């Protein structure tokens, strides 16, 4: 029996797969969701135009070029059948892990961490791609073994290792924020796949006791971020500068904001990283509480839409794939918004489709394409689990 089922010829699976008709599939794409994605990218353009001092250069223009390419990729991926995606999941996962390993050997150092590699003259952050690779791999694995076999602990060893490997490689960069997100995505898919309650308790029991151990192995700048989070006023011109300026900018926005292109902290360059990690702070300063809530509502609508797509899928692979992508997007948003509001320590996690950056933009659009594929093929019931193979 081929556990992964990537190379196995299954005539029943081929019979279950309907004819691939691009135009028919194109009409089944959830165009309302695509429109919401475009609206979010439009919000990003407006914010980055302001971050550039009222100019499309150097942030807004290049970001829209990336989005245009990503939108075409998203629609193309949405037409790919789940069977092909399952076959490609192992190569994609292995590619993502290989790129993470290459970062440690030939990565570009930025702000004390090796997170980027140069591909064809462009900087690429493999940790973003690794999240998508893990979602595909776990969705394929759990689809293959079926819900009834989740009670066997031995069935969870390999997916646990598949999750742990990218987490450790990303921690090594070091990138604690992204490593945490990858771990949480993996845990979500374990739970959604039918992991038993006693298994969850067994795995979660040591976590409260590991805090001190984890803290002792953090890098100095990571410890400084935690200390700054607890007491930002101790170093207002150094480690605490970012979060203090972020809170000042958000507070100065008031209810309606200071006006587009008129935010004092952002336009006068008091706010650092305003085009990336702290882009939401610029939105809050210029558009106020009302504008900030509108953006959060849009982000929440996309998250809930992804969850509904996952629920509507009639096959395990589509459900887990949709849930994994929706969870990735949610964690992106939750971590970034909590960070700029001072709820959690500052980390290098962007706000998807709004913050400036090519890696996050393109990988998120690829993820949305997978989400659309789950929607387009939501009514397909195909064999492929081990239970089917045993019939």
Q: What pLDDT is recorded for position 343?
A: 85
d(CA 282, CA 61): 18
What is the model's pLDDT at position 5?
A: 45
Q: Are 31 and 262 in contact (CB under 8 A)?
A: no
Task: Note the pLDDT of residue 112.
Answer: 53
SS3 378: coil
Please tell me the distance from the alpha carbon of residue 152 to that of residue 263, in angstroms, as a whole number: 57
**Tokens of residue 62, six digits:** 């290049």
Measured distance CA(305)–CA(235) in Å, rounded: 42
The pLDDT value recorded for residue 111 is: 53
Mutual orientation of helices 157-172 and 82-106 as an angle, nearest 10°?
A: 40
Q: What is the CA radius of gyration of the chain?
A: 22
8 Å CB contact between 371 and 323: no
112: left (phi over 0), alpha (psi -120 to 50) or beta: left
Predicted confidence pLDDT, tens digits, the chain (391 residues):
444 444 343 444 444 444 456 777 888 999 999 999 999 999 999 999 999 989 999 999 999 999 999 999 999 999 999 999 999 999 999 999 999 998 887 765 555 555 778 766 667 888 999 999 999 999 999 998 876 667 677 778 899 899 999 998 988 887 888 888 999 999 999 989 888 777 777 766 666 666 666 666 666 666 666 766 666 666 666 667 778 888 888 989 899 999 999 988 888 888 888 898 899 999 999 999 999 999 999 999 999 999 999 999 999 999 999 999 999 999 999 999 999 988 888 777 899 999 998 888 999 999 999 999 999 999 877 555 554 444 4
The pLDDT assigned to 31 comes to 95
Phi-psi region of 346 (alpha: psi -120 to 50; beta: other; left: phi over 0): beta
pLDDT at residue number 380 = 79
Match 């791609």 to its residue by tokens.
129
Q: Are 100 and 134 a contacting pair, CB within 8 Å?
A: no
Note the pLDDT of residue 351. 93
DSSP for 32-55 reads HHHHHHHHHHHHHHHHHHHHTTSS
Helix (H, G, I), strand (E, B) or coil at 331: helix
Give the DSSP letter string of 142-204: HHHH-GGGGG-GGGGHHHHHHHHHHHHHHHHTT-HHHHHHHHHHHHHHHHHTT--HHHHHHHH
């Amino acid at each position: 029996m081929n556990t992964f089922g990537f190379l196995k010829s299954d005539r029943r699976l081929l019979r279950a797969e309907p004819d691939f008709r691009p135009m028919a599939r194109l009409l089944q794409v959830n165009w309302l969701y695509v429109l919401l994605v475009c609206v979010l990218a439009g919000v990003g353009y407006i914010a980055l135009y302001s971050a550039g001092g009222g100019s499309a250069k150097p942030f807004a223009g290049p970001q829209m070029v990336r989005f245009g390419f990503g939108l075409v990729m998203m629609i193309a991926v949405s037409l790919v059948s789940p069977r092909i995606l399952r076959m490609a999941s192992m190569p994609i996962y292995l590619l993502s892990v290989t790129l993470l390993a290459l970062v440690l050997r030939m990565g570009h150092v930025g702000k004390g961490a090796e997170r980027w590699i140069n591909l064809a003259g462009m900087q690429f952050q493999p940790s973003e791609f690794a999240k998508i690779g893990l979602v595909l791999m776990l969705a394929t694995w759990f689809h293959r073994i079926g819900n009834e076999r989740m009670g066997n602990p031995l069935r969870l060893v390999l997916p646990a290792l598949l999750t742990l490997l990218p987490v450790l490689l990303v921690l090594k960069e070091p990138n604690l924020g992204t490593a945490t997100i990858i771990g949480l995505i993996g845990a979500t898919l374990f739970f959604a796949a039918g992991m038993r309650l006693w298994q969850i308790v067994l795995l979660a029991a040591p976590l409260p006791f590991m805090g001190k151990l984890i803290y002792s192995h953090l890098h100095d700048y990571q410890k400084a971020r935690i200390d700054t989070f607890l007491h930002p006023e101790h170093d207002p011109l150094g480690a605490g500068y970012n979060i203090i300026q972020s809170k000042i900018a958000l507070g100065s926005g008031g209810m309606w904001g200071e006006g587009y292109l008129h935010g004092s902290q952002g336009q006068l360059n008091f706010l650092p990283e305003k085009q990336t990690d702290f882009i939401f702070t610029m939105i809050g300063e210029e558009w106020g509480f009302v504008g900030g809530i509108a953006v959060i509502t849009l982000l929440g609508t996309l998250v809930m839409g992804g969850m509904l797509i996952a629920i509507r899928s009639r096959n395990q692979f589509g459900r887990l794939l949709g849930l994994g992508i929706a969870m990735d997007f949610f964690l992106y948003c939750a971590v970034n918004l909590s960070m700029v509001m001072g709820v959690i320590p500052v980390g290098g996690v962007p706000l998807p489709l709004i913050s400036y950056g090519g890696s996050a933009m393109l990988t998120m659009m690829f993820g949305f394409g997978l989400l659309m594929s789950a929607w387009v093929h939501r009514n397909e019931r195909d064999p492929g689990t081990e239970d089917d193979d045993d019939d």
